[in-house]
Amino acid sequence: MTNTILPTTGFMRLSQVLQFIPISQSTWYSGIKTGRFPQPVKLGPRTTVYRAEDIRKLIDEFGVQSPAQ
């Protein structure tokens, strides 16, 4: 982990996102498909990023959820 500080604004690559949300890439892509995780932003044909604001919101939502019963 090179940079462990979650940016306030800007874009993050998937490898950076998964440092804060410890799940597999396949689980992440499945969550995007079902609407659980934020949609990516395509900056180019081979560049996909996520808004830091969306990732912060996602982490905040996980922190407030009650444990599953």
* Residue corresponding to tokens 């444990």: 67
Q: For 14-61, write each residue's pLDDT tens digit.
A: 999 999 999 999 999 999 999 999 999 999 999 999 999 999 999 999
pLDDT over threshold 50, residue 69: no
Q: Categorise residue 10: left if φ over 0, alpha if ψ from -120 to 50, beta otherwise.
A: left
pLDDT over threshold 80, residue 3: no
Residue ranges of domains in the chain = 11-64
Q: Give me the phi and psi of 56, to 5 degrees please.
A: -60, -45
Q: For 15-26, write each residue's pLDDT tens digit.
A: 999 999 999 999
pLDDT over threshold 80, residue 68: no
